[in-house]
Amino acid sequence: MAHKERVFSGMQPTGSLHLGNYLGAMLQWIEWQKTRECIYCVVDLHAITVWQDPAELRKSTRLVAASYIASGLDPKKSILFNQSQVTAHAELAWIFNCVARLGWLNRMTQFKEKAGKDREKASVGLYAYPNLMAADILAYQATHVPVGEDQKQHIELARDIAQKFNNDFRESIVAAGYEDGNFFPLPEPVITGPGTRVMSLRDGKKKMSKSDPSDLSRINLTDNAETIARKIKKAKTDPEPLPSEEAGLKDRPEAQNLVGIYAALEGISVGDALKDVGGLQFSEFKTRLGDASVSKLEPVGAEIRRMMDAPDELDRILIDGAERARAIADPIMKQLRDIVGFVGPKG
Ligand code: TYM
């Protein structure tokens, strides 16, 4: 049975979203919702792999939901909810803990980065995190996953898990009516946003990230116009004027990053952006980049702040989304329990 096209993606509620999340994933999400069934999640279960203050977690969950909507996600069209409210995620993650191999998880680069030198002190959840991510996607038998470049390895792991599950339970899957023996689709990473790897404003070789201690390294979606302009002004550069051709950006990570951001915000290619700004000194270019950033992001920030003043409305949207998510995941989980061999009610 061919799986229906279905899109799933998520972001962690650990503070404000930034320009990397927006250009790497969010704009792509908005595009996909025009033509596909989309499920977008605030992954609060993932957030607690590192300790979170409960009050902050609540606030961040609402903040990320507000950021989705302010960026253009329509909660009537797409399903928007927070992960903890649909128990299928945690249940399927457990089953996948028993499918995935230790060797597979040992290869995950993000765990190595996040756990740092003190691996022994990392939570078990942080280590098993990619299994939960596979569960997020596959609890809905989702086929497409729009993300930034840094999530590619995790989605490849989700494909491996889906494949191994299909192999391990083939007979049972066929008996359940899946003639080709594939209960899970192999989800495809969609890494085609306008900025699939946005780098830090302070270091063109480091990814823009929420966990960077310097707030000057990133533009948050909640930053006001003045803060955005100041961060761009302070962004690291090199001494040369901008080149007129893309090849001239080679070995100039800061120039490459800033021009990439400019092109993404303007919705044009890097080549076209350079036709426009090639030859400019950074001081002049930064004014252009600042203006482009403010005009695109300021309205998003203002809408987020407006929505955060009405948390009850946000909660209502999340509760409604969770109900619609459950309506998709529940029958899949029921079939799955039977395929694995768990005894329970029939039909
Ligand atoms: P998270 O919360 O770190 O990031 C959310 C999304 O933003 C993208 N992103 C970036 N893109 C470009 N440049 C950057 N500097 C940048 N930083 C972040 C990420 O690639 C991601 O698409 N594990 C995931 C959340 C998750 C998930 C899922 C995603 C949980 N379950 C299921 C897809 C499907 C994460 O921590 O993303």
Q: Which residues contact 125 (CB under 8 A, 6 or more apart)?
A: 48, 49, 132
From start to end of 22-99, where are the E strands?
38-42, 79-82
Span 283-331, pLDDT tens digits: 999 999 999 999 999 999 999 999 999 999 999 999 999 999 999 999 9
pLDDT above 70: residue 233 = yes
User: 74 alpha carbon to ligand 1 midpoint, in Å?
Assistant: 20
Question: 240 in helix, strand or coil?
Answer: coil
d(C-alpha 316, C-alpha 263), whole Å? 37
Mean pLDDT value across the chain: 97
> What's residue 347's pLDDT?
59
Token pair of 37, please?
Answer: 């069934």
Q: Hey, what CATH topology would domain 215-306 get?
A: Tyrosyl-Transfer RNA Synthetase (1.10.240)
Please give the CATH topology (third level) of the domain spanning 6-196+310-340: Rossmann fold (3.40.50)
Could you tell me the pLDDT band of residue 49, with boundaries at 50, 70 and 90? very high
Domain residue limits, the chain: 6-196+310-340, 215-306
Among 40, 43, 190, say which to mutate for ligand 1: greatest number of ligand atoms within 8 Å of CB: 43
Lowest mean pLDDT among 106-120, 197-211, 223-237, 288-302: 106-120
For residue 346, pLDDT beyond 80: no
More confident residue, 194 or 326: 326
Nearest of 109, 186, 190 to residue 148 by alpha carbon:
190
pTM of structure:
0.97
Residue 121 falls in the annotated catalytic set: no
Q: How far is the CA of 345 from the centre of ligand 1 (A)?
A: 37
- Tell me how many helices (H) and strands (E) the chain has: 15, 5
**Per-residue pLDDT at 235:** 98
Residue 172 alpha carbon to ligand 1 centre in Å: 34
> What distance in Å separates the CA atoms of residue 332 and residue 51, rounded to the nearest whole number?
31
pLDDT in tens, 110-161: 999 888 888 999 999 999 999 999 999 999 999 999 999 999 999 999 999 9
Of the residues 59, 164, 210, 234, which is catalytic?
Answer: 210
Whether 203 contacts 188, CB under 8 Å: no
- Minimal CA–CA distance to 257: which of 199, 203, 216, 296? 199
213/202 Cα distance (integer angstroms) = 11
pLDDT at 345 exceeding the cut of 90: no
Task: Find tokens 């399927």 and name the residue.
Answer: 92
Q: Whose CA is nearest to atom 33 of ligand 1?
A: 9
CA of 244 to the centre of ligand 1 (A): 32
Q: Is 63 helix (H, G, I), strand (E, B) or coil?
A: helix
Query: Pocket of ligand 1, candidates 19, 21, 197: which has the most ligand atoms within 8 Å of its Cβ, to mutate?
Result: 21
SS3 189: strand
pLDDT for res 1: 65
Ligand 1: lining residues by beta carbon, under 6 Å: 8-12, 20-21, 24-25, 43, 46, 133, 136-137, 145, 147-148, 150-151, 154, 195-198, 207-208
